[in-house]
């Protein structure tokens, strides 16, 4: 009986960890579609649209934000955290899971 309980608990813990793990590949796909035009393919703030923007987009390869901070900016936009007012929020476009995935991908740009 104890072994069964331990196995069931271990399996449910493993499944919940996998379900909440961010999908970096899916995050990259969304980043390439939505973010790269301003932040650039490698996140350095040198996307094609960056030339026309003031202030310039952040260099995401140097961000000190954790995943939660990145998710907040992605969801609510720059003004929500005292950053650039031209950084739009994508909470109405992306689901929370998609935002988590994009944040996870951005963390790989360092």
pLDDT of 21 reads: 84
pLDDT of 4 reads: 42
pLDDT tens for each residue of 18-56: 445 899 999 999 999 999 999 999 999 999 999 999 999
Q: How far apart are CA 54 and CA 84, in angstroms?
A: 9
Query: Which region among 6-10, 19-23, 67-71, 104-108 has the lowest average model confidence (pLDDT)?
Result: 6-10
pLDDT of 12 reads: 44
DSSP conformational letter for 61: G
List the domain boundaries for the chain. Answer: 23-107
> What's the half-sphere exposure (Cβ side, CA atoms, 13 Å) at 34?
22
Residue 90 in contact with residue 99, Cβ under 8 Å? yes
Tell me, rounded to whole angstroms, the distance of Cα 77 from its chain centroid: 12
- Has residue 101 got a pLDDT over 60? yes
pLDDT tens for each residue of 67-90: 999 999 999 999 999 999 999 999
Kindly indicate whether the domain formed by 23-107 is annotated with CATH number 1.10.760.10: yes
Name the maximum alpha-carbon separation found in the chain: 66
Residues ≥6 apart with Cβ < 8 Å to 56: 45, 50
Residue 47 in contact with residue 38, Cβ under 8 Å? yes
Both tokens of residue 101?
A: 């995935």
């Amino acid at each position: 009986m104890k072994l069964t309980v331990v196995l069931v608990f271990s399996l449910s813990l493993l499944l919940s960890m996998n379900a909440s793990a961010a999908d970096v590949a899916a995050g990259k796909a969304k980043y390439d579609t939505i973010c790269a035009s301003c932040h650039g393919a490698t996140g350095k703030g040198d996307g094609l649209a960056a030339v026309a923007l003031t202030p310039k987009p952040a260099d995401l390869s140097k961000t000190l934000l954790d995943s939660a901070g990145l998710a907040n900016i992605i969801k609510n936009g720059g003004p929500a955290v005292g950053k650039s007012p031209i950084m739009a929020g994508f909470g109405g476009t992306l689901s929370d899971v998609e935002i988590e995935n994009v944040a996870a991908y951005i963390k790989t740009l360092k």
